[in-house]
Every structure is written in structure tokens, then in C-alpha cells.
Amino acid sequence: MILLLIFGMGAGAGLATPCGDEATLRHFKTVLWPKAYRNQDVDLLDTMLHERFELIDNDGNRSSKQIELAWIAANRWDPGTFEYRIERLDIFDERFAIIDGTGIASNYSYKSSNVLIKENGQWRAIASHVSGYKPNE
């Protein structure tokens, strides 16, 4: 479950900003997502995840939004230093987006991808996948 934290938001999470959707999505993934996990902020993560959200973790296990919210409420995530490097960010029809990249923590790294949907002006993650978890050398 440690990798669930990867998905990697705050007040107004997912709302379009004057800088546009790309800037909003970059902030969503690189700032708000890790913030929600690090601070065990169930309310923030709740605004970020679509009701139909599902995550497939490094071991192939599937979890729902409700499982993810319960997990962060019960588990403290302290990766030490952490950075998420976006390697792909594509927006389709101003309503769908794909973000993927590499999460780099003090002691491990992983790859993840996220599918997001924009409804009522708010971006929300509907699917996430984590793989390639490995200890740092």
C-alpha cells in the first residue's frame, strides 16, 4: 500500500487556474497529490479522486477511492525527500488527461500513470497505476 501515496492536492484542487489546464494538472500531481498523502489529508484526496477512481498497485492489486481514503487516514507516509517528475502530460478534448512519470523518494523510486477527467471545471483522477517500485541504489 505504500505506493498508493504516489498520486499524487489543496484548496481548489483540480480547478482550472488562470495559467490553464496544463499548469493546474502539474500542480495537481507534483504538489497536491503528495501533500494529501504526506499530511493524511482525507478531505483533500477526496476532492482529487473521482467517485469511480481505481488504483492498480505494483503487485497488481486493485483498490477503490474508499479503500484509498481509508488507507491514508490510517497510514502515515514519510518518504523523506520526494519529487514527482512528469514525463508525459497530454490533455484530450479539454476534458481528459494522462499524466505519467517517476516518483523519487529518499529510499525508493517508482513509475506511475494517472488518467484524469474534468467535470464541472474540476480535474479528478479516475484511474492510477503504479509499477517499477525499486529501492534506490
pLDDT tens, residue by residue, 8-24: 333 344 444 445 999 99
| Whole-number average pLDDT of the chain | 88
What is the pLDDT at residue 17?
40
pTM confidence score: 0.83
Is 28 a residue whose pLDDT tops 90?
yes
Q: Per-domain residue ranges for the chain?
A: 2-135
CATH 3.10.450.50 fits 2-135, yes or no: yes
Mean pLDDT for the stretch of residues 91-113: 97
Burial class (CB in 10 A: 0-12, 13-18, 19+), 99: buried
